[in-house]
Amino acid sequence: MNATIAMITFRAMLGRRRALLLFALPLVLILLAVGLKVTGLADLEVSTGVLQRFGLATLLPLLALIAGTGVIGPEIDDGQIMYVLTKPIPRQVIVLTKLAVAIVLVTAFAAVPTLLAGLLMSGMTEQVAPAFTVGVLVGGIAYSAVFVALAVVSRNAVTIGLLYALVWETLLGNFAPGAKSASIQQWALSVTDVLTGATTVKSTVDLAVAVPLLVAVTAVGTLLAVVRLRSLAVASAE
Amino acid sequence: MSMSTIHDIGYRHYDGKRLGRAYTVRSLFVHNLRAAYGIGRPARAKVMPFLLGALMLLPAAGSVAIFAFSKEESALIRYSSYTSILQVVIAIFVATQAPVLASRELRFHVVPLYFSRPVGHLDFVLAKFAAMAVALLALMATPITLLYVGGLVSKAPDPADQLLRFLGALVGCVLFALVLAAIGLVVAAFTPRRGFGVAAVIAVYMLSSTFVGIIQGLAESQTNFALAGWAGLFAPFNLVDIVQVRLLGAKSTSVSIAPGLQGGVVALAVCALLVAGSIAVLYRRFRKAGLS
């Protein structure tokens, strides 16, 4: 970990108007939760549905994509990464610091709002709120590692990430159940499934399979990012 | 009395033909349209638009192939539903290509260079808007045309009705293209940082469609079908689908559709408002960027 790199990255992610985007996304979830609570519609089934569809399946991949690619992608694109790479700092320290920043951002803007929305809608019933928070957190760590690696490997990281999150996990998941099981979203849901007693949360993947897969994806993503950052070809900005 | 004089040092005036405003707009339009597909740029810029275009064609080609062998009419995907079924791919196209058109010049602060030439602010914005809309129209209309031609070649029944529905779907595509270009360009013009524009556009699409989906699900479980229908106005694909169903006589693809003829008229008005508002906002944005 390197405090200076972390600080610069935080400033790049949260400076000026950019923070507005990061604040606006979870705000929609909180507003939805408040609206459902006020109208008295927030029973257990509705609140698990909202947390799953909005928190886990929409907010989490979106924020992980913004944070994961945003911490390193723009710097590589405009060549500023050279000023960091030419300092005597090991590449794994750079990658781990960037990854840590991404995870902190996902925690602050996806996991915490999920907890708040869950508590607002259903309190502590069946442990729904903490279960989804843990699910979003572990999913967020895996997503962040994958998207940081993508940003180091490809210039089209954001688009590839979107193709994975939307086309693979959502569109193909509806037609081919196999594609659904091979997704970070389902593995995170599996963790949530075990932690809550609510029967409306149903994952297609066993916990014994999901946890090793989450750990493996995170480790492979981090390793790939370190290896590719060792021999990074820096071209001029397009 | 001043001693300064102007010396004629022999610069020649331009006496040739002036090509005029139409030529300017046409040039800007063609340039932006090419940029939307990465033509005239390195291969890296072409990968994504053409990959997404191929993804759009795949289901249509598969559908025609299955129909040609099995002669099952249900194998042909309905023309008017095609855009809604593949809305995710179209949304990703808007998200990746709208920043190419709307944020790149802002990011590198080169907008004033355009306006130091006789290019009107409104012309500049209209050319960009038209280019994005035409790029989207090509993306959406090509697979539908493939479906229609494929059906025609393999002798789908009732050709007159097919043609009518095909033309209806094309009109729907034009509306989809205009609405999506309006939303995509405005969002991208306010997020010039690389990568953020893409994320912001897709965030608007995903949040609105998920939000509306949840509201519609809840409203239908309360048997409040009118509310479910009107909620569709707030998600872009559902909005245009309302116009398709209520005014163009298509069958519904979305979860819920606003009721009656008035639903269609209101949806069409919302579309028009979006397009006009978008052009107004883009005009102000680029005029301001052109001053610095």
Residue B64 lies in a domain: yes
Interface of B with A (CB under 8 A): 41-42, 44-45, 47-48, 55, 88-89, 91-92, 95-96, 190-191, 193-196, 198-200, 202-203, 206-207, 210-211, 213-214, 217-218, 222
Q: Does A73 touch chain B (CB under 8 A)?
A: yes
pLDDT of A237 reads: 47
Residue B7 lies in a domain: no
pLDDT of A235 reads: 60
Residue A62 to residue B217, Cβ atoms within 8 A: no
pLDDT of B167 reads: 94
**Joined tokens for residue A180:** 């659904």
Contacts of B260 (CB under 8 A, 6+ apart): B246
**Predicted confidence (pLDDT) per residue in B63-100, tens digit:** 999 998 888 878 888 999 999 989 999 999 999 999 99
pLDDT of B292 reads: 67
pLDDT of A224 reads: 94
Residue B71: CB atoms within 10 A of its CB come to: 12
The nearest alpha carbon in chain B to A70 belongs to: B195
Total of domains in chain B: 1
Residue B42 to residue A159, Cβ atoms within 8 A: no
User: In this predicted model, which residue has the larger pLDDT, B274 or A75?
Assistant: B274
Give dist(CA A46, CA B46) in Å, integer. Answer: 43
- Using CA atoms of A186, A192, A194, A196 in order, give the dihedral in degrees to the nearest 10: -140
The nearest alpha carbon in chain A to B45 belongs to: A156
Residue B38 lies in a domain: yes
Give dist(CA A117, CA A133) in Å, integer. Answer: 10
pLDDT of B124 reads: 95
CB pairs under 8 A between A and B: 93
Q: What is the DSSP string of chain B?
A: ----------PPP--S---HHHHHHHHHHHHHHHHHTTTTS-HHHHHHHHHHHHHHHHHHHHHHHHHHHH--GGGSPPHHHHHHHTHHHHHHHHHHHHHHHHTHHHHTT-HHHHHTSS--HHHHHHHHHHHHHHHHHHHHHHHHHHHHHHHHHTT-S-HHHHHHHHHHHHHHHHHHHHHHHHHHHHHHHT--STTHHHHHHHHHHHHHHHHHHHHHHHHHHTT-HHHHHHHGGGSHHHHHHHHHHHHS-PPP-SS----HHHHHHHHHHHHHHHHHHHHHHHHHHHHHHHH-
pLDDT of A102 reads: 95
C-alpha distances out from residue A199 to A49, A57, A136, A202, Å: 11, 18, 18, 7
Write the DSSP symbol of residue A169: I
Q: What is the DSSP string of A46-71?
A: HHHHHIIIIIIIIIHHHHHHHHHHHT
- Burial environment of residue B55 by CB neighbours within 10 A (0 to 12, 13 to 18, 19 or more): buried
Phi/psi-derived region of residue B7, left when phi > 0, alpha when psi is between -120 and 50, beta in every other case: beta
* Touching B: A residues 38-67, CB under 8 Å: 41, 46, 49-50, 53-54, 57-58, 62, 65-66
pLDDT of A238 reads: 46
pLDDT of B163 reads: 92
Residue B194 to residue A73, Cβ atoms within 8 A: yes
User: Quick check: helix, strand or coil at residue A41?
Assistant: coil
Q: Quote the minimal CA–CA distance from B202 to chain A in Å.
A: 8
Q: Does A25 touch chain B (CB under 8 A)?
A: yes
Per-residue pLDDT band for B1 (boundaries 50, 70, 90) equals low
pLDDT of B291 reads: 85
**Predicted confidence (pLDDT) per residue in B31-56, tens digit:** 999 999 999 888 888 999 999 999 99
pLDDT of A140 reads: 95
Closest CA to B235 of B260, B267, B192: B267
The nearest alpha carbon in chain A to B213 belongs to: A53
Q: What is the mean pLDDT of residues B168-180?
A: 95
**Direct distance between the N- and C-terminal alpha carbons of chain A, in angstroms, rounded to an integer:** 31
Closest CA to B188 of B205, B211, B175, B207: B205
Residue A163 to residue B92, Cβ atoms within 8 A: yes
**Joined tokens for residue B162:** 């097919």
Q: What is the mean pLDDT of residues B192-211?
A: 88
Structural domain range at position B221: 20-291
Using a pLDDT cut of 90, give the percent of chain B over it: 59
A57: chain B residues, CB-CB within 8 Å: 210
Query: What is this model's ipTM?
Result: 0.86
Q: What is the mean pLDDT of residues B13-25?
A: 89
Q: What is the mean pLDDT of residues B169-197?
A: 92
pTM, full prediction: 0.90
Q: Quote the minimal CA–CA distance from A238 to chain B in Å.
A: 9
With b for 16 or more beta-carbon neighbours within 10 A and e for fewer, the A172-183 pattern comes to: bbeeeeebbbeb
Per-residue pLDDT band for B194 (boundaries 50, 70, 90) equals confident
pLDDT of A146 reads: 95
Asked if residue B57 has pLDDT above 90, the reply is yes
Which of A21, A70, A77 is nearest residue B203 as measured by Cβ atoms? A21
Which of A21, A69, A166 is nearest residue B92 as measured by Cβ atoms? A166
* Touching B: A residues 219-238, CB under 8 Å: 238
The nearest alpha carbon in chain A to B52 belongs to: A163
Per-residue pLDDT band for B181 (boundaries 50, 70, 90) equals very high
Residue A16: CB atoms within 10 A of its CB come to: 9
Walk along chain A (238 residues) and give the pLDDT tens digit of each residue.
889 999 998 988 887 777 788 888 899 999 999 988 888 877 888 888 888 888 888 899 999 999 999 898 888 888 888 888 888 999 989 999 999 999 999 999 999 999 999 998 887 777 888 999 999 999 999 999 999 999 999 888 888 999 888 888 877 777 777 777 888 888 999 998 888 877 777 777 888 888 999 999 999 999 999 999 888 776 654 4
Which of A49, A62, A70 is nearest residue B195 as measured by Cβ atoms? A70
Q: Quote the minimal CA–CA distance from B196 to chain A in Å.
A: 7
Q: What is the DSSP string of B213-237?
A: HHHHHHHHHTT-HHHHHHHGGGSHH
User: Domain boundaries in chain A?
Assistant: 3-230
Asked if residue B190 has pLDDT above 80, the reply is yes
Q: In which element (H, E) is residue A97 found?
A: helix A91-106
Asked if residue B186 has pLDDT above 70, the reply is yes
Q: Quote the minimal CA–CA distance from A206 to chain B in Å.
A: 27
Which of A18, A24, A156 is nearest residue B193 as measured by Cβ atoms? A18
Which of A49, A65, A171 is nearest residue B199 as measured by Cβ atoms? A65
Which of A32, A57, A158 is nearest residue B211 as measured by Cβ atoms? A32
Per-residue pLDDT band for B30 (boundaries 50, 70, 90) equals very high
pLDDT of A234 reads: 65
